[in-house]
Amino acid sequence: MKNMLSNPLLPGFYPDPSICRVGDDYYMVTSSFSYFPGVPVFHSRDLAHWEQIGHVLDRPEQLPLSPDDISGGIFAPTIRFHDGLFYMITTNVSVGKNFIVTAEKPEGPWSDPHWIEGAEGIDPSLFWDVDGKAYYTGTGQMQDDRGTRQAIWLSEIDLESFALVGERTFIWGGSLSEPAWPEAPHLYLINGYYYLMIAEGGTEHFHSETIARAEHVKGPYHSYRGNPILTQRHLGMNADIANTGHADLVQCQDGSWFMVFLASRPYGGYHKNLGRETFIAPVGWEDGWPVVSPGTGRILFSYEGPNLPEYKVPELPAKDDFESEKPGYVWNFLGTPDDSLIKMEDGFLKIRLHERGLRPDENAPTGEGSLQNPSSMGFLGRRQQHLSFRTAACLAWRPKEAQTAGLTVLQHGFQQIRLELGCREDGQTVVRALRCYRSLDVSLIHKKERGAYQEEVLREIPWEKEETVLVIRAEGQEYTLLAAGRDGEEIPLCTVNGGFLGSETAGGFVGTYIGLFASGNGKSYDEYVPFDWFSYEPLS
């Protein structure tokens, strides 16, 4: 029986997918940037239905992060299986190094990182040749008669010592005479040819996937005349699926081929609040070259899948009552948390009133190799996965002084819509709606200066109720903020356009998170804010 494949395959912020098949089982990982735990792992048996089975990086010693650079952290993991062992190779750009972890089972436990000395660049991948030799591919700066430019390099790697062996060889600079950002290399040996597939054009509108092949692993590699094999840039700014690229290939048991890749769904204008999501498309082969989405030339929202039995996956509940001992796989911290950050007890999620507010540290270093000390903040969130949704959180708590807690819709750079309980200077408890941003102007995407960070109070109302339910309802780009008490009567505060949460204004590489937070806003308290429940459900 053939199941229908629905795009996006993994909705919400799941970029840079990598896939491998082991027998009848398929495993997939994606980037996680500065969210912890890192590198979610998914399992399927039919390519259509996927269940998260864990995270590769779920221990603080594996994943040093800071919340200051939300688009730092983990870039572009690759998952592979060889000789009874799973390998995941990736970049922690905040540390400025590449590393490998291994596991006997994809759900873990995974090893501590094996840092690879001398492995410059980002987006590493692994490949095993028929003679058993393992090879590392990555990005680096190549120098030739055209000057210095980014290109893909290859080196043998010893996976006992996790050390590069011998000289590195630059094998391809991309399909164009002036390629932009050739990266994300994956090597495959198919029908006697070595295929090198890479991303080009940057990860936004001009993103694409290209391919070359060679008769020997070290080349020379010859570009396919039909490149790019995947892109949506030629469809213009009004296409309903945008910036396709950063792909990986998998062959099914029935001999069919499929490609997973990242893409985005713009809505309410050219805004991509959900970030880069995981999509899938069938692949045919003609004259020894892959053809993606044969016969259409564009990516569709549904395809016929391989001839495999349906894989049953349990549906996630809309409401979390916090009855478990630790947060489920859907939840993430921002940065590397310590043991005191949250407690789950008595049916409550309790978040410590962290000294830091939910805003950027203007003095913190950012960029490659910027991490000084792993840290976190009083935040626990999950991905926005739908264009329209309703989310709510219940807390029985009264703030004092500068304390705040509540619900936020958060993007890169702490661009956010926030609904919180707080206090006025006279001690009056209020519910407050805020819009926080550096810029609301989409035309500033290519400008380095986007203005100072601002927190704009849209409305605040006095609040005397002992129990508070904070509600955010999004219908496309219109986000309505409401508050209710035990009686359930919802009081609307305001409606705000959320287009500024897209990557064009927020910048960065992540997608929107919906989070619970608690803060002392400059003062540390040995106190916790109890959240009774949280809900998230799509709106039709």
pLDDT in tens, 311-357: 999 999 999 999 999 999 999 999 999 999 999 999 999 999 999 99
What is 2-307's CATH superfamily? Glycosyl hydrolase domain; family 43 (2.115.10.20)
The better pLDDT of the pair 448, 365 is held by: 365
In this prediction, residue 149 carries a pLDDT of 87
Measured distance CA(66)–CA(60) in Å, rounded: 12
pLDDT over 70 (residue 445): no
Task: Please report which confidence band the pLDDT of residue 441 belongs to, taking 50, 70 and 90 as the band edges.
Answer: confident
In this prediction, residue 449 carries a pLDDT of 64
Q: Which residue is it, tokens 């995270």?
A: 55
Say whether 162 sits in a helix, a strand or coil: coil
Cβ-Cβ contacts under 8 Å for 171 (sequence gap 6 or more): 137, 151, 152, 153, 154, 196, 214, 218, 219, 220, 221
Q: Which residue is it, tokens 């209020």?
A: 430
Share of the chain above pLDDT 70, in %: 98
Cβ-Cβ contacts under 8 Å for 53 (sequence gap 6 or more): 41, 42, 43, 106, 107, 329
CB-CB contact of 47 with 253 (8 Å): no
Q: Decide which of 3.40.50.300, 3.40.50.2000, 2.60.120.200, 2.40.40.20 is the CATH code for 319-538.
A: 2.60.120.200
In this prediction, residue 22 carries a pLDDT of 98
pLDDT over 90 (residue 540): no
Share of the chain above pLDDT 90, in %: 90
From the list 26, 3, 29, 4, the residue with the least C-alpha distance to 16 is: 29
In this prediction, residue 143 carries a pLDDT of 81
In this prediction, residue 147 carries a pLDDT of 77
pLDDT in tens, 127-184: 999 999 999 999 999 887 777 889 999 999 999 999 999 999 999 999 987 888 999 9
pLDDT in tens, 10-32: 999 999 999 999 999 999 999 99
- The C-alpha angle with vertex 389 and arms to 207 and 44, in degrees rounded to 5, equals 60
Measured over all CA atoms, what is the biggest interatomic distance in the chain, rounded to whole angstroms? Answer: 76
Measured distance CA(529)–CA(532) in Å, rounded: 10
CA distances from 18 to 261, 403, 445 (A): 8, 42, 28
pTM of the model: 0.97
CB-CB contact of 212 with 195 (8 Å): yes
> Average pLDDT for residues 509-526, to the nearest whole number?
96
pLDDT in tens, 291-310: 999 999 899 999 999 999 99
Q: What residue ranges do the domains of the chain occupy? A: 2-307, 319-538
From the list 451, 392, 453, 387, the residue with the least C-alpha distance to 419 is: 392
> Average pLDDT for residues 205-220, to the nearest whole number?
97
Measured distance CA(200)–CA(179) in Å, rounded: 7
The better pLDDT of the pair 81, 1 is held by: 81
Give catalytic residues, as residue numbers.
Answer: 16, 183
pLDDT in tens, 259-301: 999 999 999 999 999 999 999 999 999 999 999 999 998 999 9
Measured distance CA(167)–CA(337) in Å, rounded: 39
Measured distance CA(77)–CA(89) in Å, rounded: 6
CA distances from 132 to 14, 82, 159, 183, 216 (A): 32, 10, 11, 25, 15
In this prediction, residue 523 carries a pLDDT of 93
What mean pLDDT, rounded, does the chain reach?
95
pLDDT in tens, 474-502: 999 999 999 999 888 999 999 999 999 99
Task: Please report which confidence band the pLDDT of residue 513 belongs to, taking 50, 70 and 90 as the band edges.
Answer: very high
